[in-house]
Amino acid sequence: MEFFPVGKTLDFMGKRRPFVWLSFLLFLASVVALAVYPGPNLGTDFRGGTEVEVAFTAPVEANDLRRAVTESGFASVDVVRIEATNQQHHYLLRVQEVTGLDEAKRLEIERAMCFGEGVPAETCPAESSPTEVKVSPGGDKITARYATAPDLERIRAQVAGVAGVRLRAGANNPLLQNAREHKVEVLLEGRGDQLMAGLRDRLGPGVVPDAPLRSEWIGPKAGAQLRDAAIRSVLISLVLIMAYIAFRFDLRFAPGAVIGVFHDTIITIGILALLRKEINLTTVAAILTVVGYSTNDSVVVYDRIRENMGKLRGVGFERLLNVSLSETFSRTIITGGPTILSLVAFFVWGTGALKDFALTLIIGVIVGTFSSIYVAVPFTWWLDEKVFKRGASARPTRAPVKRADAVV
């Protein structure tokens, strides 16, 4: 299918200047949005914290939720309304706190359970003292090992006696997890449980359900590691793309493709920052998909340019680029159009992470298609004019050697 008459050449390079300036301004605005204001809205995956998803049983406003969570002792509260077809009054609550147990409180728990040095022998006989006690980073679970069969009721009383520590409700808490190793697991109320309890106290049990749809937490150290790994994955992909295109085509094509992909990545994330969309692992997956899509689009154009280099000998490079772009323009529309239509359907009828994933891809596909024409190719042209041709013309030419006349 052809949207334009076969053989018609559009003057893409002649009209490149306003589009190149538009691209530069979008890139600059995205950098400002990421570095200055409003900044990226990093999700719990990257900054750490506790995230609770709740489907309330009665109408509730976001401001009321934010006030109730703040009054419960939490700071930096994010309240996000989730539009879903099967759940009403559906919210995502996010706080930066991961655990309420500092190092002093952890030591107090260990001492109450008769673990460590200096515990009194009269109240902590050796046969009932644990050989190992571990508190989870989130402060919601204690794991202990004993040399003999443990007394679960005694362990329950020991932990419950620590001020500020509350056991999670349930008949099987503590739980003998492994009878052979005498391993015991004690579940504590985590930040998610405390958040739900605070909401229930302030909004009433008629509004707040007994349990959230999900409750997750991640420590700030693990979040930083995930963030660094995400940045490294994008940078490594850019290096590998440059190496592939340089090997597959020509060295002059590789920088343009990488500049185009970097341009697409920054602008896509910048638009998400301006829309205050969350940047999380799902977003990174979408960004890597955009990198692949943009690279594929650039490779198609570069492949046609390489073919036309052999067919159109003696034609100027600008004319060669226009012909190649015109010949692949119909293919670009046919590929990008249905892709965007499919993503729009996911964005309109999808929910949660799927909706954000689709939005990121829609932005990335549009920006990637634009950059294949007005970022990657113009940069390749500029590089050819300023570097490769100049380098070729600067090479010293060897003077022809004059042959001596033959002696008769």
**Residue range 22-74, pLDDT digits in tens:** 999 999 999 999 998 888 888 777 877 888 889 898 889 888 898 998 888 88
Q: Count other C-beta atoms under 10 Å from residue 294's C-beta.
A: 29
Domain limits for position 248: 16-42+219-389
**Quick check: 143 and 185 in contact, CB under 8 A?**
yes
CATH (domain of 288): 1.20.1640.10
Give the pLDDT of residue 393.
41
Judge whether 376 lies within some domain. Answer: yes
- Total tally of structural domains belonging to the chain: 3
129 belongs to a structural domain: yes
Rounded to whole angstroms, how far apart are CA atoms 194 and 217? 13
Dihedral pair phi/psi, residue 101, rounded to 5°: -105, 110
Do both 226 and 278 map to the same domain? yes
Q: Are residues 368 and 292 in the same domain?
A: yes
CATH at residue 203? 3.30.70.3220
Give pTM, 2 decimals. Answer: 0.72
**Number of C-beta neighbours around residue 324 at 10 A:** 24
Does residue 346 sit in the same domain as residue 270?
yes
Same domain flag for 263 and 211: no
Q: Are 79 and 150 in a shared domain?
A: no
CA distance 72 to 94: 13
Residue 128 and residue 176 share a domain:
yes
d(CA 258, CA 381): 14
Q: In which residue ranges of the chain is pLDDT below 50?
A: 390-408
| Residue 396 confidence (pLDDT) | 42
> Which pLDDT value is given to residue 220?
66
Note the pLDDT tens digit of each residue in 305-333: 888 888 888 788 888 888 989 888 888 88
Claim to verify: residue 370 and residue 249 sit in the same structural domain? yes
115, 164: one domain: yes
Q: Are 47 and 218 in contact (CB under 8 A)?
A: no
| Cβ-proximal residues to 86 (8 Å cutoff; 6+ apart), any chain | none
DSSP notation for 91-102? EEEEES---S--
Statement to judge: residues 164 and 184 lie in one domain:
yes
Does residue 329 sit in helix, strand or coil? helix
CB-based contacts of 231: which residues, under 8 Å, 6+ apart? none
Residue 151 lies in a domain: yes
